[in-house]
Structure 1
Amino acid sequence: FADDWLEQLNYDGAMVATLLESEADAMQETESDAAGAAQTLVERFGVPPFSVLDARQGYWQDRKRAWLGLGLRGEVGRLAQSNALPKTFKNSTQANQDDTRLDLDNGTSIFDPVLSEILYRWFVPKGGHVLNPMSGEATHGIVAGYLGYEFTGVELRPEQAESNREQAVEIGVNPVWITADALTIDQLDIAPADFVVSCPPYADLEVYSDNPLDISTMDYADFVTTYSEIIRKSCALLKENRFAAFVVGEARDKRGIYYDFVGDTIKAFKAAGLNYYNEMIYVTPLGTVMMQTSRNFPIGRKIGKTHQNVLVFVKGDWREAVKACGKIDMELPDGFDTNS
């Protein structure tokens, strides 16, 4: 049938071969053009500003190594509890899947500095004030300071806040960490912010301390109530026509069912008067997830989690917020080497 059909079209075998070869060449040119366009986007914006942020790519890994070369350190709270680490993860099928944080050799972890960098460069006015109401370790503050932004972080754990300050001095930047309960952020002496950012506890996925004020110790209903209030108070400190971004991921309850933490985060920001503006999927390096999934998927059909959700919100007019941010500048500071 195919031969008869080709004969009716007056196509012989040579003509078909030529057409197929031309199509293959066109596909190669398209792929080459796409690769070139992607490289141009990397040069202009650090990473391609697509809805999927792929931290496995070489350009991401090169930039990450340069940031880690500054000497970033991880969570003091985790290190202090390292002899009881399994107890800090309430749901064993999820253990160690909080993948926005990069595992370091000493068992601690840090937030991905490249993700922190692009959020600042894309969504914060040059030299603007960044507020992190649930700071954790030092990455957000160190990156902000290194790039010339002002930074205020609120951190409940005194030992973590002190470690952050020491690290900032060593690296030569000047972010500020206030030791306080984030729920009291409206009572603290904090200047209006140009950007609100955080990677909060993912409900009770990982417990950071035994302090009852630590929202990671709360049951989910209390967690959401407190978390939403922290977001409301933080956004009240955000200037009009400015962006906010939270990096979050789903967590499961004791029955193995998702809480819908991502959805509750969106609801909290909307209740605070902001509009939901962007969603990006941050694709993380596989790490140990392959081993975990090979064990857990057959018995529970739980998909191995290799992404987090980057949620961006805007307060006021997005056009004015973009205007305030100005031109995106990806120029690296002196001494920052992505080739090492």
Structure 2
Amino acid sequence: MLRSDLGPWRERRRMWNELGIESRRGREHVSTYNVTDDYGRRVLGSIGGGLSTFDPVLAEVSYDWYCPPGGRILDPFAGGSVRGLVAGNTGYHYTGIDLSAEQIDANEEQADVWRERDMLAAQPTWLHGDALETLPTLDKEAYDYVFTCPPYHSLERYSDHPADLSAMRWKDFTDAYSAIIAESVRCLAADRFTTWVVGEIRNSAGRIRGLIPLTIAAHERAGARLYNDAVLLNSIGTAAMRLPQQWRASRKMGRIHQYVLTFVKGDPRRATQSLLPDSANVQ
């Protein structure tokens, strides 16, 4: 279990935030939902102050654990600036894809500020477009690590764009999502890792959709096997006040966690050896 609610993790996150990560810039229009009422209706929730933000410490440790030094990182669902800025600051070559031109503009503005302050060892790159259309244009096996946090279907509504997974019906979402996973695995070099940070969701009737098994099955069909699964425990926050009423009304357990699923393409031993600073000399 990864404890982002404990002191060392929180202190490290504070240090990252003090560098000037503005993770919500470009996402002010996003609507966050959570099925919390007694009738299973989708209502506005309060996740991260109304908008989810990615934890820079999770990005930092994931790159350190699973990407070769100075490696190339691919992020099919870039979203905010966090993963790109952390990668660039720590010397990784990051390529993120996002459907929102406004979001990419906000990310690049932040990257410009970091570069002017000499805070980037490598310049992150954001590509504007639909991941389903952009990934096939990228070279096969060109990346050392895939790291992303996809839309949790309709939990957050990003736009009304027809290619936006958060606006799709579940069947269309599963088809597009699985195809994007397959393309990301194609872009991943042999004997390398890929990590997807996902959370489970419910449908309008309150039943669990099954986003976690969908993610695992799509990767395995694409040739990447599940290697590590971790639970990221977040701060309880206001959940302690909300959840008793939710439990009494519906017997639904609350969620203050996400799943960090890491897959390996190829040989796990060779993938691990590639992470060593002198990996070129490892037989």
The TM-score, its normalising length taken from structure 1, stands at: 0.74
Which runs of no fewer than 5 residues in structure 1 stay unpaired? 1-51, 329-340
| Matched-pair contact (CA < 8 Å) for 2:27–2:103 | no
User: Following the alignment from structure 1 to structure 2, what is the Cα–Cα distance between the partners of residues 203 and 298?
Assistant: 26
SS in 2 for 1:67: helix
Total equivalences in the alignment: 266
1:303 alignment counterpart = 253
| Matched-pair contact (CA < 8 Å) for 1:130–1:196 | yes
1:32 alignment counterpart = none
**Alignment of 1:244 onto 2:194:** yes
Deviates more, 1:198-207 or 1:88-97: 88-97
Residue 304 (structure 1) shift: 1.6
The TM-score, its normalising length taken from structure 2, stands at: 0.89
SS in 2 for 1:321: helix
Residue 187 (structure 1) shift: 3.8
1:337 alignment counterpart = none
| Bigger share in strand | 2
**Structure 1 residues 300 and 108: CA distance shift in structure 2, 3 A:** closer
Q: Which of 2, 9, 21 in structure 2 is aligned with 1:72?
A: 21
User: Following the alignment from structure 1 to structure 2, what is the Cα–Cα distance between the partners of residues 287 and 112?
Assistant: 15
Q: Which of 237, 260, 266 in structure 2 is aligned with 1:287?
A: 237
Residue 129 (structure 1) shift: 0.2
| Matched-pair contact (CA < 8 Å) for 1:155–1:161 | yes
**Structure 1 residues 76 and 210: CA distance shift in structure 2, 3 A:** farther
User: Following the alignment from structure 2 to structure 1, what is the Cα–Cα distance between the partners of residues 226 and 92?
Assistant: 24
| Matched-pair contact (CA < 8 Å) for 1:117–1:143 | yes
Residue 206 (structure 1) shift: 1.2
Q: Which of 188, 196, 199 in structure 1 is aligned with 2:149?
A: 199
| Matched-pair contact (CA < 8 Å) for 2:230–2:260 | yes
Could you give the per-residue CA deviations for residues 193-248 of structure 1, whole angstroms, max 9, x where no partner exists? 00001110111111111111100101111101100000101110100000000000
Residue 269 (structure 1) shift: 0.4
Residue 294 (structure 1) shift: 2.5
User: Following the alignment from structure 1 to structure 2, what is the Cα–Cα distance between the partners of residues 90 and 300?
Assistant: 14
**Structure 1 residues 138 and 150: CA distance shift in structure 2, 3 A:** same
**Structure 1 residues 152 and 312: CA distance shift in structure 2, 3 A:** same
1:259-278 equivalent positions in 2, closer than 5 A? 259-278=209-228
User: Following the alignment from structure 1 to structure 2, what is the Cα–Cα distance between the partners of residues 277 and 72?
Assistant: 31
Could you give the per-residue CA deviations for residues 144-193 of structure 1, whole angstroms, max 9, x where no partner exists? 00000000000000000110111111112310000010001334345810
User: Following the alignment from structure 2 to structure 1, what is the Cα–Cα distance between the partners of residues 104 and 248?
Assistant: 42
1:163 alignment counterpart = 106
**Structure 1 residues 201 and 117: CA distance shift in structure 2, 3 A:** same
Q: Kindly provide the amino acid, as one letter, of the partner of residue 205 in structure 2.
A: R
**Structure 1 residues 73 and 62: CA distance shift in structure 2, 3 A:** same
Q: Kindly provide the amino acid, as one letter, of the partner of residue 214 in structure 2.
A: D
**Alignment of 1:124 onto 2:67:** yes
Q: Kindly provide the amino acid, as one letter, of the partner of residue 296 in structure 1.
A: Q
Q: Percent identity?
A: 38
**Structure 1 residues 115 and 170: CA distance shift in structure 2, 3 A:** same
1:77-226 equivalent positions in 2, closer than 5 A? 78-81=27-30, 85=31, 88-89=32-33, 91-92=35-36, 96=45, 103=48, 108-172=51-115, 173=120, 174-189=123-138, 192-226=142-176
Could you give the per-residue CA deviations for residues 26-66 of structure 1, whole angstroms, max 9, x where no partner exists? xxxxxxxxxxxxxxxxxxxxxxxxxx001111110110000
Which runs of no fewer than 5 residues in structure 2 stay unpaired? 38-42, 279-283
Residue 131 (structure 1) shift: 0.2
| Matched-pair contact (CA < 8 Å) for 1:185–1:230 | no
SS in 2 for 1:241: strand
2:4 alignment counterpart = 55
**Structure 1 residues 169 and 77: CA distance shift in structure 2, 3 A:** closer
User: Following the alignment from structure 1 to structure 2, what is the Cα–Cα distance between the partners of residues 92 and 75?
Assistant: 24
User: Following the alignment from structure 1 to structure 2, what is the Cα–Cα distance between the partners of residues 59 and 306?
Assistant: 19
| Matched-pair contact (CA < 8 Å) for 2:29–2:158 | no
SS in 2 for 1:111: coil
Structure with bigger gyration radius: 1
